[in-house]
Amino acid sequence: MINEIKQDAETRMKKSLESLQAHFHKIRTGRAHPSILDAVTVEYYGSQMPINQVANVNVEDARTLAVVPWEKSMVPKVEKAIMTADLGLNPATAGTVIRVPMPPLTEETRRNYIKQARGEAETARVAVRNVRRDANADIKALLKEKEITEDEEHQGEDAIQKLTDKYVAEIDKLLETKEHDLLQV
C-alpha cells in the first residue's frame, strides 16, 4: 500500500515538473523557438485553434521564426493573432510566409523574465510539497486504520521526503538553466 502511495506521489510530482518545463518554454530567451507561439490561438472557421494546428511554425535562423499558414486566406488572421498575443512580437508578412523576428532582450525584460521564471519554479515547488503532504496524510490514515506499523509509517514518510527532495532539486536545476539562458547576451 505504501508503494502505491509512493508511485502516485512520484507520478504527480513528475507532472508538476513537466508543467514547469512547459511554462519555461513559453518564457522566451533571445533565441527563436517554435514553442514561443504555443499560447497563440487563431480563429479558424468560428473556433479558436492553436497556431500550430493552422500553420507550420519553423525556426528560420537564430532570431527569426517563419510561420506558413496552410490556407492563404488565414495569413492575415494568423498575423493578427501573433500581434495581439501580448508577446512583444511584430510579424512581417511576405506573400504567404509570416516572419516573426525576435527582438533583442533588454536588461529590464531579462530581469522580468527571470522574476517570472522564479515565480513559476516556486509554484512547482509548492505543488511538489502539496503532493508530499497528501501522501503523508494517506500514510497516516493507513496507520490510524492499523493497516501498517509505525516503522512502516516512518519508512514511507522518509521515502516520500526523498522523492520530494529529488524533485525540488530538479526544479532548482531547471530554474538555474533557464536563468543562465536568459542572462546570455
pLDDT, one tens digit per residue, over 122-176 is 999 999 999 999 999 999 998 888 888 888 889 999 999 999 999 999 999 999 9
The verdict on pTM exceeding 0.85 is no
Per-residue model confidence (pLDDT) at position 51:
86
- C-beta neighbour count of 148 within 10 angstroms: 18
Q: What is the distance between the alpha carbons of residues 148 and 146, in angstroms, rounded to a whole number?
A: 5
Determine the CATH number of domain 34-101: 3.30.1360.40
Q: Where in the chain is the domain with CATH 1.10.132.20?
A: 2-26+106-183
Structural element, H or E, at residue 5? helix 2-26
Type of residue at 46: G
The class that CATH gives domain 2-26+106-183 is: mainly alpha
The pLDDT tens digits of the residues spanning 81-120 come to 888 887 778 888 888 899 988 877 788 888 888 898 999 9
Residue pair 111/182 in contact (Cβ under 8 Å)? The answer is no
Q: Which of 53, 4, 21, 39 is nearest to 175 (CA)?
A: 21
What pLDDT is stored for residue 29 in this prediction?
67
Average pLDDT over residues 40-66: 87
Domain(s) of CATH 3.30.1360.40: residues in the chain: 34-101
C-alpha cell at 135: 501522501
Q: Do residues 77 and 96 lie in contact, with contact meaning Cβ atoms separated by under 8 Å?
A: no
Q: Is 86 helix (H, G, I), strand (E, B) or coil?
A: coil
Rounded to the nearest integer, the mean pLDDT of the chain is: 87
Q: What's the rounded Cα separation, in Å, for the pair 3 and 104?
A: 49
